[in-house]
Amino acid sequence: MSASAAPVRTLVLGGARSGKSAFAENLLADADTVRYLATAVLDPADADFAARIAGHRDRRPAHWTTVENADPATVLTTAAPATLLDDIGTWLTARLDARAAWDAPRGTVAPDCDALVAAVASYRQRLVIVSPEVGMGVIPATRSGRLFRDEIGTLNQHLARVCDEAFLIVAGLPVRLK
């Protein structure tokens, strides 16, 4: 990417409640049309998670189009003026569930991750991706925790490689990585 070219693909990383989603939304605040790709699956029995989803919905501008529970790799085959994909962690969790991979050998979700990275690499419209950075804490005590941490860490590396820019959000403050 040349110094004067506008970024096309941006990866926004951060921990829980770091402000990563709000930062990502702000990157597209001036866009006339935004397709919001929401990966969270609403569980009506989980009031806390439902409240988080509602907070994200309430924060979005009314003119944004929302695509919920989507397979991002498939959705990204269709161009939109600007797309916000939020978030890779919930998508990865759903893929681990769908493939019954929590106790399977590592790499079971690699085909899904590879398809997503390829879709991002070939996407030429404005794209902002939100993903959790979970590798800065203690080593999880459970196999499933370690599996998620390792899989998201690898996926984040691959996404960062194909994105034009990347930010780490810490305490609401962006740090440019690329």
Catalytic residues: 56
Which of these, 55, 45, 51, 92, lies nearest to 71 by C-alpha position? 92
Which of these, 31, 158, 148, lies nearest to 94 by C-alpha position? 148
Q: Is 176 exposed, middle or buried (0-12, 13-18, 19+ CB in 10 A)?
A: exposed
Residues sharing a CB contact under 8 Å with residue 116, sequence separation 6 or more, in sequence order: 72, 73, 88, 91, 155, 159
AA letter at 147: L
Beta strands in 23-140 (DSSP E): 35-38, 65-68, 82-86, 126-132
